[in-house]
Structure formats: C-alpha cells, structure tokens
Amino acid sequence: MREAKQSEAKPRVAWFSLLPVGATNADSLSANFSANTLPWLREHFEIELFHNSFETYQDYPTYHYLTAIERQRERPFDLVFYQLEDSKACGFIRIHLGLMPGLVLFYNFILSDDGPEPILNSAWQETVEKFHGKRSEWPDRLAEHKKESRYALREAGLALVALFSSEKDHADFKRLAKKRLAGPSEQLSFYLPFPIAPFPNRGACSASRVAEPLTLLFCGKPRIEYRAHKVLEALRALGSKVKLRWLIDASEEAQCLRLLNEFEIGNVELLSGRSPERWSQLVEQGGVAVHLLFSVFGQVFPYLQISMSAGLPCFVSDFGGSEYLPENSVYRISPGESEATQLTLALERILREPSLRENLCARSFALENHLAQNVAHEMVLAFKRAQPIFSELRGRWEKFEAAAQVALREEALSLVGPDAEQQGFIAQVFRDLKW
Amino acid sequence: MANILILGVKIPFVHGGQDVLVGTLQRELKKRGHAVDLVELPHSVMPKERLLSQAALWRALELEEFGGAKVDLIIATKFPSYYARHKRKSIWLVHQHRAIYDLFGSRYSDFSDDPRDEALRRKLMDGDRQVIGESAFVSGISQNVVRRLEQYNGIKGETLYPPLPLAGRYRSADFQPYILSVSRLCSIKRVDMLIKAMPIVHNFVKLKIVGTPDEPGIMDYFKNEIAKHHLWDRVEFLGRVDDEALLDLYANALAVYYAPHNEDYGYVTLEAFASGKALVTAHDSGGVLEFAKHEENSLVLEPTSDAIGHGINRLAADPDLAKRLGARGMEFIQSSGLGDAGWDQVVGGLLSPLGKEQ
C-alpha cells in the first residue's frame, strides 16, 4: 500500500508594496499589480503583506513594514519581494530593500527624486564591497556619497534578484548595474510584463460602431511630457469629428480646463479619478487610445496594455520602451514639430477606414503577454527559480548582519570611554539585555 | 504612604514638556502624602550609538533601597528611563525613541540604511519590548502614544492625560494683535512654518515665540527667514519665561499656534483652551488632535505656511470667530477633567501596582 504523500507547506513570501487600501493608492502601479496577481499567487505561496500603514488588506495577513523583522524571526520567509515605482510613497520600499534584501520588481529604473532621508547619503557601494569581503572597514559615517545618476543603481545593487516591467529598463540594468550584492555567478534578472485584468471579447467591428463619432481616449497628465498640448492641437484640426474623453486626477482639473480653453476644444468630457479600473471602464466603450510619453521618467503601462487588450487602436511615442512593441500593434508618433500633424493624419485615416477602429493584433499581444493569470504564472516560475539564489544570499546577508551587530556593540562600548572596567560593566548590561 | 521614585530624562540646558510633567507629578504625589524623589540622568541623542550605553546605564541602576528606605515603586516616563529595573515599575510613557518608529524614514530621523544603524534599531526595538513588557502598569500620556506602543511593540497601555500644569491660574483677556507660539525650538515643532507664514499675514499681527532652541543651527535658520522677509519688527523671541509671564502671554494672545509633526500630547493645546484662545494647528499634529477640532475650538489646517497664514488672517479679520473658538475651548477644559481633578485618575493608575503582590 502506498503511503499518502504529505502536502508540502507553501513557500512563505514577504510582499512589500503599496496596497489598494483607501483612495490614495488608486493610481499606484504596485497596488494595481498586487490586486491583479495576489489571488493567483496565494494558491502557490503563503503571502504576508507589508506596507507603510497599519491598515489591513482583504483577508491577507498585513503588517507595518517596520515589524517585518519580527515576522522573519517568528517564521522565516523563503522569499522577500519588493515592488518599486517612481513615487515618494515608495520611500519605505527604497529604505527597506537595503535593510532586508530580496527580489525587487522595478517599474522604473530611472527615479525622479533622490529618495527619503535615510538613503540620501547612502554608503551602499561600500556596504556591497564589505559584503563581498573587498573591504575590511565599515563605511565611514561622516563621508559624503554623491549619487551618480538618476538610475536606481543603489536599489539595483541591493536587489538579490531584479525584475523589470519594461524591457528597456531590463536592458539598461544589465548594462549599468555593476556593483551588486549578488555575485557574478548568482546574478538573475527577469522581464515581467505588467498584469491586466481580462476584457470580454468585443468581436469584429460592427456597423453600429462605424456610425459612432470617433472618441479619443486620453489619460495623460496635463504636463508637457505626456504631450497633452500635441493631442489638443491635433484635435483642434479635426473639429467636431472627434470627441475627447480625458481621464484625469481631480487635482489636475484646473490645468486641464486651461489647456482645453487655450486650444478651443469644445467636444470634450473630463472624467475624474484616474485609475486602471476607471480606464478599463472607459476603453470598454470603444474609441482610439492615445498614450504618448516623451520623457525618461514615467511609463504608460498599464493603461496602454489595457487599451491594447480591448483591441483599440493605440498611439504611442516613438521613443524609449515602445521599440519593444510589435510593429503592427501600435501607431508610433515621432515627438517634435510634426507630432500633432502625424496624429491628425492618423486619426483622419481611422475616420475614413472604419476597419481600422479595431486592432486584433494589439489585443492578442496584450492578452498573451499581460493577462494577469499569465503574469502570475510567470511570477511563480520566477520565484521558484529565484528561491535557491535568494536562500544562499540571504544566509550570507544574515552573517553580515551579525557582523554589523558586533561592530555596533564595539562602537557603543568605545563611546563609554577607554576604561576597561567601565566598558566591562556596560558590556555586562548589554548581555543581560541580549544586546 | 509609599516611597516613590520618578525617573526623568534630562536634556541639559533644555526645558520642555517633560520637565513640566515630572515636576507636576512629583508635586501631586507629595500632596497625597507620598515620599517622592526624582532621579534624572542626562540624555543625548547624538551620536546615536550612545543610545545603547545610556539605556544600559538606566538598566544598571540599583533602585530598590536607599538608606534603609525601600523604594516601593518607580515611575518611568521617557526613553530610556523605562530600562530601569524594579520589582514594581509603572510607566507613564511620554514617548519612545521615535526615530526608530513613527519618524523612521523621515527627515526627523537620523537612521540610515547602514547595517549598523539597522542593528541599532533592532536592538532598541527588542529592548523596548522587553523592558516595557516587564512593567506592572503601562500607560501613555495620550492615545497617540499608547497607539504607537501597541502598533509597533504589541504592548497595550492605558491613556492617562496629564492635567494642566497651572490649573486654576489660566485667565482670558482682550486680544492684543499677536500670535503666541510656545514650544522647544526644533524642526519637529515646525515654528518655521509659522515664521514663513508671516509675510502673508496682515501686517498688524505680530508673532511672539516662547521657547529655547535645542537643535544646532535652528536659530540661524529662523533668523535667515526673518531677514529674508524683513520681519524683524514682527517676530519676537522671548526665550524661557516664568509662569506669570506665560499666563499673561496666553491671556492676551489673538490665538495660539501649535502645529508640530505628529505630537505626542501637547500641553500647549490645553493651555490655549484654558486661556480661552483659539488654536491654530495642522491635520498631521498627532496628539493635539485628540482635543483640537476644526471650526469648533481650533483651525486645523494643511501643514503649509500658506494655509497657516490664511488661517491666522481669518482670525485677525474676524475677532468674533477667534472669541467663539476660544470660548468653546474653555468649555471643553471645564468639562474634560483635565484641571486639578484629573490627577486622581493619573495617580490612581500609576500607583496601582502598589496594591498587588510581586
């Protein structure tokens, strides 16, 4: 008789992220990513969530990130996972990934600010050198450490395994991140598409849709890098043939109205509450989506992928990460003087040829690569592949932490004074406190 | 009657709420017939590695008996006094070392991502959990302090609000056109936010600042801001003042400004109300908001100089509003039990371990 196989305990994952609690994280990439993938991942992993608040999220065990070390001691994690986006709200992520290193998913490899106080003068490079035994001394506390560039080299260096939502960022990382906790034989990195929720099948272009006035869907911020001024210039040339539906954040309303006034756009609907969920509701109603971005900062996912998965014709800037999109899945607009004209001509063509109002190539590309279930499956494979490397590096990091404890103790005792008896007296109290 | 030691943490040359608290507690315990003395050790937060040895010094103290008199109870207040050992320890927590808790990661904390700093943070968190957890009675001076203790250390405590230090002596008088600020002068108290608001505040409104600096460079910073906006005639630094002078300043103010970042408690809030004055504060001022309610007894505003400045202008332009808010503040004090009568609850809680077997 065969013995029943005992079911294995699921690997434990500490998941550090902004979470979709309250209205403040509606537009957060990591909150959105968590909402889309956690339901699939919990079938494979025991997940505990950590964020910068004491609020809980659904029925997941949820904790403040500063209590993670306690959770680690009670029941060690098999993996530690961080999501890092270019947002001040992710300051705690940038700090903590250096205190408890793990896997880091980068939504942006170029960060627009230097980070919160604790890392402004980070001696991370010296920490990495000491970790590898290339340096005997701990970093000099009084030294100044200048940030070399806007690339997240510190965060990349401290990531045991790095994941990227942008293939371009992944390529930049491989080119630029030289100093890392992971040694040459341990380096592992992945591209991980951003997950989106599925859409119902919209089928081919119907006669009723042909009769509709063309709707241009736009969710860019009213800032120069999102090319709002070029979009409005293009629309002005088209008059009433195209209606604009602009999804914004409430704080942007005054600025948007000023722009609309300046470009004399009347056929417009301003919608408040920018979020992937809200965008999904809009694209379901059809139209043409514009996702221009001409900047090294920021990104157009998941909004672009949501539009693509709905089969909408999508416009992107011919710049940055768009080179990784298949040729016939998007319309590329070159930034510059003729930008508005390119957009106007493309929209006029779509107006003349109703068959262009649906892009099934874009839809199949988006569903194949970005469907939440598929991305979660990729994550499971990535986590399983990363586990042995994480385990090995984590073990070495814990020894490194123990050495830091010894160094701290010596520093603290030296401040007591040179007298051995005094130091011994304080050392005894340290022992009583298990310090 | 019991022999009680109050453990206070003293930052030399600085006088603040902590000093008022231990002084008034000592007074109230003596009034009730107990033999009370104060044990203070000097404290410095820099360099931060010194925090361990300072905590250890408290831990090493022998506090059971002096000259044949047994110490029946110790009452610890602020970090690191609660590291002291005694078979009967009460804690009336003013605050822990906030740089490793709610202020961690902010401009008010000096903990970096150096592994030694993380080792220090963990040692202090572990130590806090152990030594606070061994106490016979745990309380905090506000819901904010008690909530922090539970959220970060998993230890529950009771809220015992410190009653007004000069209860029965506060008075209200007609306005003179100045805003009063009373606090230690350091970044977290955000007096700079008020100074920077003054350029948009009506010219006839002046600013009187009571308190002494306890942060390097802070006075230079304030003076630079004053010089930049030509506020020399409108901003006055009064330093430390005696009780009578303070009562006068409260009594005659148009309003009182107190908008620190996530404050533990804030005597100033209650002193303003007891003097019948409106309070100008911010919606992230922590313990202040346990009493200050927007448009009821205070203006609770965005923590920006712009909002503060416009708020003050509202009061300056509408003295009836200032009076109304101040009157409600006074009503609150009268009904709150935070005058003299509040001490019975505080003393009852802190002395509760005396009745128990150890």
Output the pLDDT for position A208.
41
Cis peptide before A326 (omega within 30 of 0): no
CA-based nearest distance A138→chain B, Å: 9
Query: Quick count: other Cβ atoms within 10 Å of Cβ B74?
Result: 27
Min Cα–Cα distance to chain A from B115, Å:
6
A50: burial class by Cβ within 10 Å (0-12, 13-18, 19+)?
Answer: buried
pLDDT of B1 over the 50 cut = yes
Question: For the segment B151-167, what is each residue's pLDDT rounded down to a tens digit?
Answer: 999 999 999 999 998 98
For CA atoms B61, B64, B69, B72, the dihedral sign is positive
pLDDT digits (tens, 9 = 90+) for B38-82: 999 999 988 999 999 999 999 999 999 999 999 999 999 999 999
pLDDT computed for residue A7 by the predictor: 54
Rounded Cα gap, residues B261 and B283, in angstroms? 9
**CB < 8 Å from A in window 30-89 of B:** 47, 49-50, 52-53, 55-57, 59-60, 83
Residues of chain A neighbouring B105 (CB-CB closer than 8 A): 91-92, 95, 116-118
**Nearest residue of chain A to residue B83 (CA atoms):** A433
Q: What is the pLDDT of residues B302-349, one digit of tens each?
A: 999 999 999 999 999 999 999 999 999 999 999 988 877 789 999 999
Nearest-CA neighbor of B352 among B95, B80, B65, B160?
A: B160
Q: Give pLDDT tens digits for B225-250.
A: 999 999 999 999 999 999 999 999 99
Given a contact cutoff of 8 angstroms between Cβ atoms, the answer to whether A47 and A78 are in contact is: no
Q: What is the 3-state secondary structure (H, E, C) of A362-386?
A: HHHHHHHHHEHHHHHHHHHHHHHHH
pLDDT at B357 > cutoff 70:
no
Mean per-residue pLDDT, B1-11: 95
Residue type, A304: L
* Whether the predicted pLDDT of B181 surpasses 60: yes
Give kind and range of the element (H or E) at residue A332: strand A331-333
pLDDT at B200 over 70: yes
Mapped onto helix, strand or coil, the DSSP state of residue B24 is helix
Inter-residue contact B288 to B301 (CB < 8 Å): no
Which chain B residues are Cβ-neighbours of A122 within 8 angstroms? 112-113
B114–A contact, CB cutoff 8 A: yes
Question: Do the Cβ atoms of A117 and B107 come within 8 Å?
Answer: yes
Residue A201: per-residue pLDDT? 56
Longest Cα separation, chain A: 93
Of A54, A95, A139, Cβ closest to residue B151: A54
Start-to-end CA distance of chain A, whole Å, equals: 54
- Please give the mean pLDDT across all residues of chain B: 95
Q: What's residue B71's pLDDT?
A: 97
Contact B4, B28 (CB under 8 A): no
| Average pLDDT over every residue of B132-150 | 96
CA–CA separation, A84 and A119 (whole Å): 15
Contact B106 A116 (CB under 8 A): yes
Comparing CB atoms, the residue among A64, A99, A411 nearest residue B151 is A64
User: Which residues in chain B have Cβ-Cβ distances shorter than 8 Å to A408?
Assistant: 49, 52, 116, 119-120, 123
B185: three-class secondary structure by DSSP: strand
What average pLDDT does this structure show over B247-265?
Answer: 97
Collect all residues of chain B within an 8 Å Cβ-Cβ radius of residue A140.
none
β-pairing, B65-66 with B35-42? unpaired
Before A302, cis peptide (omega within 30)? Answer: yes
DSSP letters, B101-163, are: TTTTTSTT----S-HHHHHHHHHHHHHHHHHHHT-SEEEESSHHHHHHHHHHH----EE-PPP
Using a CB-CB cut-off of 8 Å, the residues of chain A touching B43 are none
Best of A53, A67, A73, A117 to substitute, by most chain B Cβ atoms within 10 angstroms, is A117
Distance from C-alpha of A192 to C-alpha of A167, rounded to nearest angstrom: 8
Contact B53 A426 (CB under 8 A): yes
CA distance A122 to A145: 6
Q: Is the dihedral of CA B294, B297, B303, B309 positive or negative?
A: positive
Whether residue A404 and residue B118 make contact (CB cut-off 8 A), yes or no, is yes
Torsion of CA B47, B53, B55, B61, to 10 degrees: -140
Tell me the nearest-neighbour CA distance from A61 into chain B, angstroms. Answer: 15
pLDDT < 70 regions, chain A: 1-7, 23, 199-212
| Under 8 Å between Cβ of B322 and B256 | no
Helices (H), A132-264: 153-158, 167-176, 207-211, 228-238, 253-262
Q: Check CB contact under 8 Å for B105 and A413.
A: no
ipTM of the complex as predicted = 0.88
- Nearest neighbour of A401 by CB, restricted to B59, B111, B115: B115
**Chain B residues touching residue A144 (CB < 8 angstroms):** none
Nearest to B105 among A95, A413, A433 (CB): A95
Which two three-digit tokens encode residue B22?
């231990």
CA distances from A58 to A340, A382, B260 (A): 45, 25, 34
Interatomic CA distance for residues B291 and B94, integer angstroms: 17
Which candidate from A98, A407, A435 shows the least CB-CB separation from B113?
A: A98
Residue A21 has a pLDDT of 87
Tokens read off for A423: 């130091």
Residue A4 φ/ψ, nearest 5 degrees: -65, 135
**pLDDT score of B338:** 86
Q: CB contact, 8 Å: B126 with chain A? A: yes
Residues 6+ apart with CB under 8 A from A139: A123, A126, A127, A130, B114
The counts of H helices and E strands in chain B are 11, 14
Evaluate whether B188 touches B16 at the Cβ level (below 8 Å).
no
Q: Give A59: exposed, middle or buried? Use CB within 10 Å, 0-12, 13-18, 19+.
A: exposed
Kindly state the tokens that stand for A354: 């109703």
Contacts of A54 in chain B (CB under 8 A): 151
B56–A430: do the CB atoms touch at under 8 Å? Answer: yes
Q: Report residue B159: phi and psi, to 5°.
A: -95, 125
Q: Which helix (H) or strand (E) holds B10?
A: strand B3-10
CB–CB contact B52 A432 (8 Å):
no
Average pLDDT on B76-95 reads 96
Q: At what angle do helices B319-336 and B305-317 cross, to 10 degrees?
A: 100
